[in-house]
Each structure stands twice: as C-alpha cells, then as structure tokens.
C-alpha cells in the first residue's frame, strides 16, 4: 500500500540519485510517485520512482502542495527552499533528541 503523501520529503535509497532528498509532487499509483529536487529533477521533468526505492520522512509541506492544487505558480527555487527548510527541521529534531 502506498502511504506516501503529496509534499512529503523522501530520500532515494537506490538508483543514480541514491541519497538525494526529494519532494513527492504526485502519486501515480500504489507503487509509484513523481518526485523532484528542484535541481536535477525539476518540475518540468520529475522522476518517476518506485516507492520501494524511497525512504519516507515525517516532513510534509502542506503549504506548497496547497499552492500547486490551487493552480498557483511554483518554481524549482520553491522546491529547493522547501527541501532545505524541512531538512533543517529534521536535523534540529535529531539533535534535540540526542541532548
């Protein structure tokens, strides 16, 4: 079952993009999603990924997806900024638990 969500930050576990942080922009079916990183994988050419090759995080950007669903224009810079902000939040959460 595909329990990935739009706007969710994920990490690639295999392929040429292994280790890269990506944002889910579309759920194709139970086994595949479209992801972007705003650099190599832009909004114009998203990557179709098998969900078995992705590691989920708890980070979801609802505001960005809401903009997309409402037909507002989103840039690759928006994607890069979202990934950077959410990664910083994950690092802060991780560091907070260790202390």
Kindly list the domain boundaries of the chain, sorted by start residue.
Answer: 8-98
How confident is the model over 14-69, as pLDDT tens digits? 999 999 999 999 999 999 999 999 999 999 999 999 999 999 999 998 888 889 88
Could you tell me the two tokens for 86? 């959410």
Tokens of 18: 């292994």
Identify the band that residue 96 occupies on the pLDDT scale cut at 50, 70 and 90: confident
Can you give the three-state secondary structure of 29-51, one letter per residue?
CCCEEEEECCCCCCCCCCEEEEH
Query: What class, spelled out in words, does domain 8-98 have in CATH?
Result: mainly beta
> How far apart are alpha carbons 89 and 96 in whole angstroms?
10
DSSP 9: E
């Amino acid at each position: 079952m595909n329990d990935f969500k739009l706007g969710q930050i994920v990490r690639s576990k295999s392929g040429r993009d292994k280790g890269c942080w990506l944002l889910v922009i579309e759920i194709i079916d139970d086994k595949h999603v479209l992801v972007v990183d705003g650099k190599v994988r832009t909004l114009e050419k998203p990557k179709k990924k098998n969900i078995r090759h992705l590691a989920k995080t708890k980070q979801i950007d609802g505001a960005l997806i809401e903009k997309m669903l409402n037909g507002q224009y989103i840039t690759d810079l928006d994607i890069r900024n979202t990934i950077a902000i959410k990664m910083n939040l994950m690092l802060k959460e991780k560091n907070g638990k260790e202390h």
